[in-house]
Amino acid sequence: MVKQDFTITTYEVRDIRFPTSQHLDGSDAMNKDPDYSAAYVIFYTDDKQVEGHGMTFTCGRGTEVCCSAIDALAGKFINKKLSELIVDMRATHRICTGDSQLRWIGPEKGAIHLATAAVINAIWDLWAKAEGKPLWKLVVDLTPEQFVQAIDFRYITDAITPEEAIELLKQNEAGKAAREAEMREKGYPAYTTSAGWLGYSDDKVRRLCREAKEQGFTHFKQKVGGDKASDIRRAQLIREEIGDEGVLMMDANQVWDVKEAITWMEDLLQFKPHFIEEPTSPDDVLGHAAIRKALYPRTRVATGEHIQNRIIFKQLFQAEAIDFCQIDSCRVAGVNEILSILLMARKFNIPVVPHAGGVGLCEYVQHLSLIDYICVSATTEGRILEFVDHLHEHFLDPVVMKNGKYMTPLAPGYSIQMKRESIEDYTFPEGKVHKELAASK
**Non-local CB neighbours of 332 within 8 Å, separated by 6+ positions:** 113, 117, 307, 308, 309, 310, 338, 341
| Cβ(368)–Cβ(343) below 8 Å | no
Decide whether 35 or 108 has the Cβ nearer to ligand LFC.
35
Q: How many residues bind ligand LFC (CB under 6 A)?
A: 13
Tell me the C-alpha distance between 132 and 186, whole Å.
22
| Cβ(368)–Cβ(327) below 8 Å | yes
CA-CA-CA-CA torsion sign (108, 109, 113, 117)? positive
Q: Are strands 219-223 and 324-325 parallel, antiparallel or unpaired?
A: unpaired
Decide whether 15 or 251 has the Cβ nearer to ligand LFC.
251
Q: Which of 28, 108, 231, 284 is in the footprint of ligand LFC by CB under 6 A? A: 28
Tell me the C-alpha distance between 45 and 33, whole Å.
38
**Per rule CB under 6 A, is residue 355 in the interface with ligand LFC?**
yes
- Residues 224-263, mask of contacts with ligand LFC (x by CB under 6 A): ---------------------------x-x----------
- Residues 234-253, mask of contacts with Mg ion (x by CB under 5 A): -----------------x--
Which has the closest alpha carbon to 304: 264, 349, 351? 351
Q: Which of 199, 334, 357, 431 is in the footprint of ligand LFC by CB under 6 A? A: 357
**Per rule CB under 5 A, is residue 386 in the interface with Mg ion?**
no
Cβ of residue 125: shortest distance to Mg ion, in angstroms?
A: 25
- 113 is an active site residue: no
CA-CA-CA-CA torsion sign (406, 409, 414, 416)? negative
222 phi and psi angles, rounded to 5 deg: -110, 135
The catalytically annotated residue of 133, 223, 288, 314 is 223
- 347 is an active site residue: no
Interacting span for ligand LFC (CB under 6 A) from 235-243, 354-362, 375-383, 394-402: 354-362
Interacting span for ligand LFC (CB under 6 A) from 48-56, 76-84, 144-152, 351-359: 351-359
Instruction: State which of positions 359-398 bind ligand LFC (CB under 6 A).
Output: 386
Cβ of residue 385: shortest distance to ligand LFC, in angstroms?
A: 11
Decide whether 25 or 152 has the Cβ nearer to ligand LFC.
25
Tell me the C-alpha distance between 112 and 330, whole Å.
11
Cβ of residue 27: shortest distance to ligand LFC, in angstroms?
A: 7
Q: Which residues are near ligand LFC by CB under 6 A? A: 26, 28, 31, 34, 59, 193, 251, 253, 305, 355, 357-358, 386
Residues involved in catalysis: 223, 355
